[in-house]
């Protein structure tokens, strides 16, 4: 269609010389724009039947558009069926009403009444028009006309996207959460903001419980994790929108995780093993939220929030059937997802270091949440909790299962050579000086992790102790 020459016929009234001159100017300009204009002034010769000419031009299939130049005189003649305009009107009106190509006829307004309403023939008042009635609107209307003739609209309909993920949520409505996030952005009142933050926390846990299933097996767990991605995405939006709040959002998020664990987790009795177990889709969800949180806060350099999250004491119910509260640290949320691993292993018939980690890094929310940022956040949690000796016990702590998917961790850790960066990064350790941070790193009990020859990228592999904060 790029090489197509568009053809238009101009229908107008010989109102006066000034009006005819305006019509001629428009016609000439259209020709300069590459449009073939049919006009009586240069296409109708002496001796030819002007009515036959008009009829032929209106009904001609090679004419793409008919421009109806509307002024007061044109409207009157059209409505009263007088003169040449009246004859054209008989033809044009029947085409507009009876044919399937009403968009062929384009009213072009050259004059308006004292109330600012355009003069238009009655038969075409339902058609969209192009306003060229005065200098203020002429160029805008002219551009729209050109675009219409060339079929190049200013506003294009976007390509059809994919079916929204949230439609697969089995009618779990996330609108309330999304609405809270939107309201948080615009509210300035401190008390109202606090109310919305509390509402988000409570509503998040309430909605999460709607994902509880009657049966638990590998297939159901994977399917539920897929469904919960939409809930996770709302949480990520929440984090990004509240990242600059003048509040300790690290503590808020920690409290959300604590509340989620205590209120959402329901335990199921496993008849085969005889033990009480928690549904892995909730364990996975909470693990994923932690990693996403660290990824977001690291991106925005909210290191103090990461420290609060990692060093927080979590008071958690011992089980769904018990009111006994145990004090735990962040590493207690790191589980081995045995059902997921066994199910995926049997289904795909291959060996992998961690199927759970593969699921984690595949659930991107670009641009911020991707494979690299998720795996680095996982590694960073392992690094910092080890440096700060935050472990479940002397044998178990945070295990960064997704480390095999990261290629840029060493480069990221190289930033710690910068003194300027260290002044900010030290907050992740909860200390006031770079020297104190270095002491934690130097005395760390972190252990190298190697799986099938692939080593977990640690801070010590990127820089030596002497290199930390060595660059001004």
pLDDT tens across the length of the chain (472 residues): 567 899 999 989 888 999 999 999 999 999 999 999 998 888 877 767 676 777 777 777 888 998 999 999 999 888 888 777 776 777 677 666 555 566 788 999 999 999 999 999 888 888 889 999 999 999 999 999 999 999 888 888 878 877 765 565 556 789 999 999 999 989 888 899 999 999 999 999 999 999 988 888 889 999 999 999 999 999 999 999 999 888 889 999 999 999 999 998 865 544 444 445 568 999 999 999 999 999 999 999 999 999 999 999 999 987 666 678 889 999 999 989 999 999 999 988 888 889 999 999 999 998 899 999 999 999 999 999 999 999 876 557 899 999 999 988 889 999 999 999 999 999 999 999 999 999 999 999 888 887 655 688 899 888 999 999 999 8
Indicate whether 15 and 67 sit together in one domain.
Answer: yes
Q: Are 382 and 400 in contact (CB under 8 A)?
A: yes
Q: Does residue 41 sit within a domain?
A: yes
Q: Is residue 472 part of a domain?
A: no
Supply the pLDDT for residue 49: 64
Give the end of a domain, one of 103, 119, 149: 149
Total domains in the chain come to 2
**One domain for residues 208 and 288:** yes
The domain that holds 15 is classified in CATH as 3.40.50.10140
Q: Is 380 helix (H, G, I), strand (E, B) or coil?
A: helix
Instruction: Tell me the torsion sign for CA atoms 459, 464, 468, 471.
Output: negative
Give domain status of residue 352, yes or no: yes
Tokens linked to 420: 């300027």
In a domain? residue 158: no
State residue 447's pLDDT score: 85
Q: Given this model, what pLDDT does residue 62 score?
A: 86
Residues 274 and 421 occupy one common structural domain: yes
Q: Give the chain's radius of gyration (CA, Å).
A: 35
At 255 the pLDDT is 97
Give the pLDDT of residue 272: 47
**What pTM did the predictor assign?**
0.66
What is the rounded distance in angstroms from the CA atom of residue 267 to the CA atom of residue 264? 10
Domain shared by 101 and 210, yes or no: no
- Measured in whole angstroms, how far is the alpha carbon of residue 50 from the centre of its chain? 59
* One domain, residues 183 and 121: no
Residue ending a domain, among 101, 119, 149, is: 149
Please indicate, yes or no, whether residues 173 and 299 belong to a single structural domain of this protein.
Answer: yes
2 assigned to some structural domain = no
The last residue of a domain, from among 92, 124, 149: 149
Find all residues with CB under 8 Å of 141, minimum gap 6, and list them.
108, 109, 130, 131, 132
Which tokens in the block code for residue 384?
């910092």
Q: Do residues 368 and 406 both lie within one domain?
A: yes
Sign of the Cα torsion 448, 453, 456, 460 reads: positive
Examine the domain organization and report whether 318 and 347 are in the same domain.
yes
Domain housing 59 = 7-149
Render pLDDT for 260-269 as a digit per residue (tens, 0 to 9): 999 988 655 4
Residues 128 and 184 in one domain: no
| Separation CA 322–CA 315 (nearest Å) | 13
Within-domain flag for 159: no
Within 13 Å and on the Cβ side, how many CA atoms surround 197?
Answer: 23
* Residue pLDDT, tens place only, 389-407: 998 765 578 999 999 999 8
Clarify whether residues 328 and 198 are in a common domain: yes
Q: Domain check: are 144 and 171 in the same one? A: no
Evaluate whether residue 200 is within a structural domain.
Answer: yes
Q: Are 27 and 37 in contact (CB under 8 A)?
A: yes
What DSSP assignment string belongs to 169-207?
Answer: STT---HHHHHHHHHHHH---HHHHHHHHHHHHHHHHHH
| 49 found inside a domain | yes
Give the pLDDT confidence score for residue 82 in this predicted structure: 78
> Same structural domain for residues 462 and 339?
yes
Cα distance between residue 121 and residue 127, in whole Å = 10
């Amino acid at each position: 269609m790029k090489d197509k020459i568009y053809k238009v016929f101009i229908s107008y009234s010989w109102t006066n010389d000034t009006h005819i001159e305006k019509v001629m100017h428009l016609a000439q300009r259209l020709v300069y724009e590459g449009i073939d204009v049919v006009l009586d002034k240069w296409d109708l010769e002496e001796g030819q039947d002007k009515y036959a000419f008009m009829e032929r031009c209106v009904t001609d299939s090679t004419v793409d558009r008919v421009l109806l130049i509307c002024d007061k005189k044109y409207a009157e003649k059209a409505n009263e069926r007088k003169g040449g305009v009246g004859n054209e009107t008989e033809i044009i009106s029947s085409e507009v009403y009876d044919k399937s190509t009403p968009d062929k006829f384009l009213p072009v307004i050259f004059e308006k009444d004292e109330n600012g309403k355009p003069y238009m023939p009655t038969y075409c008042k339902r058609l969209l028009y192009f306003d060229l009635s005065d200098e203020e609107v002429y160029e805008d209307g002219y551009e729209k006309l050109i675009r219409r003739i060339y079929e190049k609209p200013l506003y294009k309909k976007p390509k059809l996207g994919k079916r929204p993920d949230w439609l697969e949520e089995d009618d779990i409505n996330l609108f309330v959460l999304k609405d809270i996030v939107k309201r948080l952005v615009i509210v300035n009142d401190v008390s109202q903001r606090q109310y919305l933050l509390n509402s988000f926390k409570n509503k998040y846990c309430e909605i999460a419980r709607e994902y509880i299933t009657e049966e638990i097996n590998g297939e159901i767990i994977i399917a539920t994790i897929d469904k919960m991605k939409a809930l996770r995405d709302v949480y990520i939006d929440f984090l990004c929108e509240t990242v600059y709040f003048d509040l300790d959002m690290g503590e808020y998020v920690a409290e959300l995780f604590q509340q989620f664990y205590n209120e959402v987790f329901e335990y199921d009795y496993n008849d085969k093993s005889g033990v009480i177990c928690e549904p892995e889709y909730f364990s996975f969800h909470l693990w994923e939220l932690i990693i996403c949180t660290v990824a977001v806060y690291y991106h925005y350099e909210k290191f103090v929030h990461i420290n609060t999250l990692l060093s927080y004491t979590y008071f958690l119910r011992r089980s769904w059937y018990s009111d006994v509260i145990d004090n735990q640290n962040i590493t207690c949320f790191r589980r081995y997802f045995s059902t997921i691993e066994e199910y995926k292993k049997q289904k795909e018939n291959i060996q992998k270091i961690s199927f759970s980690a593969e699921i984690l890094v595949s659930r991107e929310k670009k641009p911020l949440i991707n494979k690299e940022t998720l795996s680095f956040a996982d590694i960073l949690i392992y690094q910092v909790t080890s440096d700060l000796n935050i472990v479940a016990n002397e044998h178990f702590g945070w295990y960064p299962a997704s480390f095999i998917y990261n290629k840029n961790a060493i480069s990221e850790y190289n930033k710690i050579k910068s003194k300027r960066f260290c002044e900010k990064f030290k907050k992740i350790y909860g200390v006031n000086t770079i020297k104190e941070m270095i002491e934690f790193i130097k005395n760390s009990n972190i252990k190298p992790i190697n799986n099938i020859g692939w080593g977990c990228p640690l801070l010590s592999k990127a820089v030596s102790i002497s290199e930390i904060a060595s660059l001004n």
